[in-house]
Amino acid sequence: MAERCPLCGSPEATERFRAGEARLLGCPGCGLGRLEALPSAEELAARYGEADVCTDREGVFKEMELYRQRFSARLREMSRHAARGRLLDVGCSVGYFVRLASEAGWEAEGQDIARRAAAVGRSAFDVKISVGSLRELAFPGDSFDAVTMWHVIEHLPDPVGEIAEVSRILRRGGLLAIETPDAGSRAARSRKERWHYFKPEQHLFYYSLRPLSALLGRHGFEILARRSVGGTGFAAGLRRAGAGGAAEKLVALARKLATLRRAVVGLRGIMGLNDALLVYARKR
Ligand SMILES: [Zn+2]
């Protein structure tokens, strides 16, 4: 007997597909997709705590270049919806976004359960990163002007509790930015277990616009803007390939491909191939 849907409480669940040991369930009530078997908080802490990251300072700065274009665009978009103030990047890893947000004038800090990544980020980027789950860290209420979650919410075993906590620590009128794989995208629906974002060892929940809107609405958020985006798998793939090593070569390759990629990103949008969701929401 499957657990109830954590978002809408429905006891019903339909199987979307199986892949090896993993079974993806869909909620007929709200559309949220979830793995049938979720890991415990302890398992996740063990999985992410000491996860391998590039550890040399020079390498980390080079890796940041893979993210600069995308994160700079996000920062420009955020400035349309919010005045720069205190920002928390949830699931910040080594803190690329924290660093770039600081450079853009935000008073930015990060949170992650990945202890090793946080240590590398602190020393390389001179940024503040707190280690622990959001609820363990218990930031003061109404203390942030913006919270960002870039490809993080799909990793969280208790998204409802997490968004409640985000809502608590954001001030009224504060901005929440979320990017997550779009399980409602054409790529996800047609490729099923072969979709590149179906990663049962990391991605526990699978959102489309409907359940994500329901999750945000339930915690008092009003959606300001949303759109389909794509192309993040590219940088992530390069990063994984380059972890601990040939970052320089990869950055050179990324630069060469940048022009081509801009054209491809535009084309993907036109052809409906984008497979991630980007949402900006305001706490009422
Ligand atoms: Zn549901």
Give residue limits of the domains in the chain: 39-283
- Band (pLDDT 50/70/90 cuts) for residue 269 is low
At residue 62, the 3 state secondary structure works out as helix
More confident residue, 15 or 251: 15
What is the 38 CA–ligand 1 centroid distance (Å)? 16
| pLDDT mean over 119-143 | 95
Task: Say what percent of the chain tops pLDDT 70.
Answer: 85
What is the 9 CA–ligand 1 centroid distance (Å)? 6
What is the 233 CA–ligand 1 centroid distance (Å)? 27
Q: What is the CATH number of domain 39-283?
A: 3.40.50.150
148 pLDDT more than 60: yes
**32-41, 91-100, 159-168, 239-248: which has the minimum mean pLDDT?**
239-248
- Band (pLDDT 50/70/90 cuts) for residue 242 is very low
What is the 210 CA–ligand 1 centroid distance (Å)? 10
Tell me which DSSP letter residue 219 carries.
T
Q: pTM to 2 decimals?
A: 0.87
244 pLDDT more than 50: no
What is the 201 CA–ligand 1 centroid distance (Å)? 22
What is the 232 CA–ligand 1 centroid distance (Å)? 27
- Band (pLDDT 50/70/90 cuts) for residue 42 is confident
The mean pLDDT of the chain is 89
58 pLDDT more than 80: yes
Give the pLDDT of residue 248. Answer: 59
What is the 173 CA–ligand 1 centroid distance (Å)? 27
What is the 55 CA–ligand 1 centroid distance (Å)? 40
| pLDDT mean over 12-16 | 95
| pLDDT mean over 101-108 | 97
What is the 216 CA–ligand 1 centroid distance (Å)? 14
More confident residue, 264 or 253: 253
pLDDT digits (tens, 9 = 90+) for 198-211: 999 999 999 999 99
Using only the alpha carbons of the chain, give its radius of gyration. 18
Give the pLDDT of residue 265. Answer: 59
What is the 152 CA–ligand 1 centroid distance (Å)? 20
| pLDDT mean over 134-154 | 97
Dist CA 263 CA 213 (whole Å): 30
What is the 29 CA–ligand 1 centroid distance (Å)? 5
130 pLDDT more than 80: yes
124 pLDDT more than 60: yes
Residue 159's Cβ-count burial label (10 Å; 0-12, 13-18, 19+) is: buried
Which residues hold their Cβ within 5 A of ligand 1, which is an ion?
5, 7-8, 10, 27, 29-30, 32
19 pLDDT more than 50: yes
Are 66 and 232 in contact by the 8 Å Cβ rule? The answer is no
Per the listing, tokens 């980027």 go with 125
Give the pLDDT of residue 54. Answer: 77
β partners of residue 18: 23
